[in-house]
Structure 1
């Protein structure tokens, strides 16, 4: 895989960790070119069992992803190529979020600038996010323009922060600092800017068995799909888990039973003779 092929992504890999630095000046807007490169990279990495962790950060200290490129409103045909192979009812922004959310590797955002609108949705779609104190900011700002988040943000937010706080975030269109985002559950932790303690976490994740992350992230995603044990209805609105992403590899098995009237008939994830019982998927 040629990592030099990307114009807006700086990609490097070492010891099972792929580091992706977004570099789309002047403010890292989420435009068609950046979405195309992100989709290409995630697709290329998904079957690479030598990669355990994908870490995203930004070349711009002030912006992770500022927002969606709003000039696209006037050029709807710009999406034609990205939308060519999408399922009915899924837009290009939702498709990017779902691709990230169902990546078999663990995906982590190191947030040290602003992530607004579509940028906030990207952060929320990742498995984990760590926000730099005094530098990071995150917000769903769409209400300022009289629109609602259209890239999965409303569904993802409910799973992260709960319905009441998701409503606050979307309706207020405020920008939330690292400490508040941590307190709400939007990010894993607020950390001092330049904090290197995350390297230990990354090395630990990279040292797992090849099938460990897909099985565990798949089990956790499945467990929240029926609202157990926490209220995590991201899949209720998107139906995104249909089709079997997060499927285990290398001798693991995952059997999923349909939810009878939103019941909790368990599926079973098996690995190495041990069994993890998780609830069913919504059909």
Structure 2
């Protein structure tokens, strides 16, 4: 079974960019466009916890390709979630396999390289690749609701963040704090994330979050697109690790660790404990329930 899943994952990974244009619509992404601002709601109806699976990955690849070709009409992209409890829960553990790292490092890297400004408006949980996704965005805003919990859970599963989570966090919050959260697989709430620089700001209500983000996006969208793209490149010259570093320090190491017996055993246990990644204590409160994996 492992080898058949690996073959499926590899084929799908290769298809993400090559077949992106064949997708006539963004099935897991609901989009609205107004005055240069594209609002994208991530809503994976195949998963009750809004998993980042190959449906989402393919739709994102399609969206990124479209945005790369449309760098004048769309100037700001706002990502939100259609599931208020889970922004993106994490990657589908069924497909955490050797070879997975390459395509998702590239996918998230392509988000960082978009000429448009990208904003994550976070409600709900974002762990693993969910957190890596929001870190790939230029700006991150959230609410202080109890459902907002961010984290990198990979170390508790015997691997490392495979799409650059540790690198993103080290740049944003510093080495010590990055290690505190990456090594412990703890959750961080919205208020604390704002305080230490994980996110830009946290708001007390959904409406306050939406009002601020939409006002900010509309303001940025007034400005010439060439200036937006150039300003991003200037800041990224010191604010983003290189793609080569992502590949060498995240993808390659992940691909080695994920094939180890310890990692495979923990992933199988997680699938069993969560009833194949359904809503339950572990998915809702991973930071406090993670010890169930070690009983």
Task: Label 1:4 to 1:102 Cα distance change in 2 as closer, same or farther (>3 A).
Answer: same
Higher relative contact order (CA 8 A, sep 6+): 2
Matched, 1:188 2:200: yes
Match of 1:68? 91
Query: How do 1:26-175 residues align onto structure 2 when only pairs under 5 Å count?
Result: 26-48=48-70, 49-73=72-96, 91-134=102-145, 135-175=147-187
Deviation at 1:203, TM superposition (A): 1.1
Is 1:17 the counterpart of 2:17 in the alignment? no
Q: How does 1:267-278 map to 2 (within 5 A)?
A: none
- Structure 1: runs of 5 or more not aligned: 80-89, 226-232, 241-283
Q: What is the distance in 2 between the residues matched to 1:143 and 1:207? A: 42
TM-score, length-normalised on structure 1? 0.73
Distance in 2 separating the partners of 1:93 and 1:164 = 26
Give 5+ residue unaligned stretches, structure 2.
Answer: 1-20, 249-295
Give the alignment's Cα RMSD to 1 decimal. 2.3
SS at the partner of 1:94? Answer: helix
Q: Secondary structure at the match of 1:156?
A: helix
* Matching of residue 216 in structure 1 with residue 231 in structure 2: yes
2-side partners of 1:236 and 1:167: how far apart?
A: 21
Kept in 2: contact 1:159–1:234 (CA 8 A): no
Inter-partner Cα distance in structure 2 for 1:223 and 1:120: 21
Change (3 A) 1:214 1:172: same
Write out per-residue CA displacement over residues 184-238 of structure 1, whole angstroms, 9 at most, x where no aligned residue: 111000112221122221111110112111010100001336xxxxxxx466723
- TM-score by length of structure 2 reads 0.70
Q: Give 1 or 2: higher helix fraction.
A: 2
More strand by share: 1
**What's the CA shift for 1:143?**
1.6
